Amino acid sequence: MEHLAPRWVLLAGTLLGTLATGSTRSARDLSPTQTPMDTAPESFDDDYKGCVEQMRAELPELNCTEFTHNRVYAEGWKAAAAEWQRRWGGRPQPGQLRQEQAIALLAYTGGSKLHKQFNEDTRRGGCSHQHYLNSYHFKALHFLLTTALRDLRRSHPSECHHVFRGVRDVRFAAKKGSAVRFGHFASSSLQRNISKRFGTDTFFEIRTCLGAPIKHFSSVPCEDEDLIPPFEVFKVTEFRRVNGGNLIHLHSNGMQSRHTCELLK
Q: Choosing from 66, 75, 225, 232, which is the catalytic residue?
A: 225
Catalytic: 154? no
Q: Choosing from 98, 123, 150, 165, which is the catalytic residue?
A: 165
Catalytic: 165? yes
Q: Choosing from 66, 100, 150, 187, which is the catalytic residue?
A: 187
Hey, which residues does 205 pair with through a beta bridge?
A: 164, 249
Catalytic: 181? no
Active site residues: 165, 187, 225
